[in-house]
Amino acid sequence: MDALGLGLSLGLAASISPGPLLVLVVTSALRSGRRAGVLAACAPLLSDAAVVGVTLLLLGRLPERALGVLGVVGALFVVWSGVRTVREARTASLEPGASASTAAPGVAALRRAVLVNLLSPHPWVAWATALGPLTVTTWRASTGAGVALLVGFYATLVGGKVVIALVVARGRRHLGDAGYRRALTFAGVLLGLAGVALGVEFAPTLFGG
């Protein structure tokens, strides 16, 4: 498989893999509509610059406990986002007046998604253990192939999540307020569970487990 095809395949798999960012994309699309969902889906384009840069330069030298700290902080933030979503679901409405401003919710969704991606250890681990070495090896063999790998990866990583956001945002119009609140509550619960799972996965490294 050539570098572009490999990047497209890896990005597509990552785009639909369950995790805090995917749930946040769905939650943002449910809460605030298409714009917010699409902006949340684009978070890796902003956050991964720091993830990739720091990973390739430093992360391999950091102690395992550093990942544990990052994971627990990220877990707490994700759980907080889930709790907030559930609380907002109690009075959420699809009435035009309830979501008259599309810019602010979209920017807020993007900021939250960037934070989730930065605080979640999964992108860091993926780049430190698989994507980073693969990118470096491909780049050394051919600069063009390295660029193709990265372009393909992020095209489908972001594109897959954008498609999911658009589908969810389109479907929310047919829910009605009651269905919308149930769906938003369910998404918030999923977000909280994702945070708990993240904490369970990385907390043992804090204690040498």
Contact 34, 162 (CB under 8 A): no
Residue-wise pLDDT for 70-120, tens only, equals 667 767 877 887 788 788 778 766 654 444 344 467 888 899 899 988 888
Looking at residue 102, its pLDDT comes to 45
Instruction: Give Cα separations from 164 to 23, 63, 102, 157, 189 (angstroms).
Output: 10, 36, 19, 11, 19
DSSP code for 91: T
Rounding to the nearest 10 degrees, give the CA dihedral for residues 150, 156, 157, 160: 170
Instruction: Give Cα separations from 54 to 14, 32, 50, 205, 206 (angstroms).
Output: 20, 32, 6, 20, 21
Mean pLDDT in the chain?
80
Looking at residue 101, its pLDDT comes to 43
Looking at residue 71, its pLDDT comes to 66
pTM over 0.85: no
Looking at residue 123, its pLDDT comes to 85
Residues 182 and 132: their CA atoms lie apart, in Å, by 40
Looking at residue 208, its pLDDT comes to 62
Count CA atoms within 13 Å of residue 109 on its CB side: 29
Residues 80 and 116: their CA atoms lie apart, in Å, by 11
Per the structure block, which two tokens stand in for 75? 């877990």
CB-count burial class (<10 Å; 0-12, 13-18, 19+) for 149? buried
Stretches in the chain below the pLDDT threshold 50: 96-103
